[in-house]
Amino acid sequence: MLTGLGLILLLGYIGGKLASKLKLPPLIGMLFIGVLTGPYVLDWLDSDLLLVSQDIRTFALIIILLRAGLGIKKDQIKRVGTIALKMSSIPCIMEGITVMGLTYYLLEFSLAEAGMLGFIIAAVSPAVVVPSMLDLKDKRLGEDKQIPTLLLAGTSIDDVIAITFFTFFLGLGTEARESSLAFDIISIPASIIGGVLLGAVLALGIVFIFRLMHKKYVEKLVLLLGVSILFVEWGEHIGIASLLGVMTIGFLLLEKIPTQSKEFSLALGGLWVFLQILLFALVGSEVNINVALDAGLTGVLIILIGLAARSLGVWLATWKSELNVKERVFCMIAYTPKATVQAAIGAMPLALGVEHGETILAFAVLSIILTAPLGALAIYASAPKLLKQVE
């Protein structure tokens, strides 16, 4: 496993640098290295590394969401709160329902199978969007209207909604359903509120403990990471939006202990240099190009129409907001990448014996190939042209 880890880090670093030389986002080079070294192309990675791939990717997401929370101030949340809620729900639901309808009528899926596919595809990727928005915050692009903060908040909740609907349709299709659609819909705000509230309670506890510890930033960082990891792991079992709660922890730490929070943010920034390579390369290693090809032109068409529905949802969510036309177009672009959720749950219907599970997996993989590199590239290329630079 260590050999595979070393290969990913070395080649992923080189891939990121080459992408930068070509004026592309580094993550594109890292994704490509993951695809190349993964089990479906050169097969250089040890199977043990692939077994723990999901856990490594989750840890990387915890780091990046902590960093996101540590960079968001209270006045920024107040400014984007209402739009963020619209952005996190309307685009996701519109895309999910559109893909669901298309596959139901065009591919003759059952309603449950169409729903599974619709809401696997509907989830936007925090692995791509969150680091991109943090980069834009560092460059002060769109900060006059807190657009990166808006997209950071919206992305986390978007995934909660997509996964909740997917879980309902998965239960419906595998005869394992124990609750109604109404109950599952009600569970969405309950999951979000639960994640935020529990994250806030943990943050206050952490602040209390940290105030008893003097000038021990390394020890405090270890405790912070330990609590965050356990929170995410246990939160998934009790059905709360634990990743959103991790962002809440960072947000409250910045408010309560701002000086220490800046130290944590710098340390996590250094850790992210290492973890981003693992995150994007391991996401790439999940991509089976042969499976994606099985989706064919029909798959491409359905995914593109779904993205059009998502973009319309973003346009509606930002209607009558303070954002101008260029900024709304940027939000549409920023909401296109898919990778994290699709890689994590795309194979679940197949594993549970769903009739069209292989096709669902093919669509999930195809959505990553189509949108992750192109979406990331579009974000970085369009941001300087569509967003205002704050001095």
Taking 3-state DSSP, the helix, strand and coil percentages for the chain, each rounded to the nearest 5, stand at 80, 0, 20
Q: What is the pLDDT along the chain (391 residues), one digit of tens a residue?
A: 888 899 999 999 999 999 888 877 888 899 899 989 988 899 998 888 888 887 888 898 889 889 888 988 888 787 777 898 899 899 999 999 999 999 999 998 999 999 999 999 999 988 889 889 999 998 999 999 999 999 988 887 888 889 888 888 888 877 655 556 667 677 778 888 898 999 999 999 999 999 888 777 889 999 999 999 999 989 877 778 888 899 899 999 999 999 899 999 999 988 888 888 998 888 888 788 888 888 889 999 999 999 999 999 999 999 989 999 999 999 999 999 998 788 878 888 988 888 898 899 889 989 988 999 899 999 999 999 999 998 7
Q: Is residue 38 part of a domain?
A: no
Taking the CA atoms of 222, 223, 225 and 226 in sequence, report the sign of the dihedral they define. Answer: positive
Q: Is residue 267 part of a domain?
A: yes
- CATH number of the domain to which 284 belongs: 1.20.1530.20
**Parent domain of 178:** 53-391
DSSP assignment, residue 97? Answer: H
Q: Is residue 16 part of a domain?
A: no
Q: Is residue 231 part of a domain?
A: yes
What pLDDT is stored for residue 302 in this prediction? 96
What pLDDT is stored for residue 181 in this prediction? 62
Please tell me the distance from the alpha carbon of residue 81 to that of residue 75, in angstroms, as a whole number.
10
**Residue at token pair 């639960």:** 194
Q: What angle do CA 320, 197, 215 make, to 5 degrees?
A: 110
Please tell me the distance from the alpha carbon of residue 27 to that of residue 24, in angstroms, as a whole number.
8
What pLDDT is stored for residue 180 in this prediction? 61
Tell me how long the chain is: 391
Please tell me the distance from the alpha carbon of residue 120 to that of residue 106, in angstroms, as a whole number.
18
DSSP assignment, residue 43? Answer: -
Please tell me the distance from the alpha carbon of residue 77 to that of residue 91, in angstroms, as a whole number.
20
Q: How far is CA 133 from CA 5, 207, 388, in A?
A: 27, 27, 14
What pLDDT is stored for residue 6 in this prediction? 92
Number of domains the chain is built from: 1
Q: Is residue 279 part of a domain?
A: yes
Q: Is residue 326 part of a domain?
A: yes
The SS3 assignment for 240 reads: coil
Please tell me the distance from the alpha carbon of residue 340 to that of residue 128, in angstroms, as a whole number.
8
Residues 260, 266, 269, 271, Cα dihedral to 10°: -80
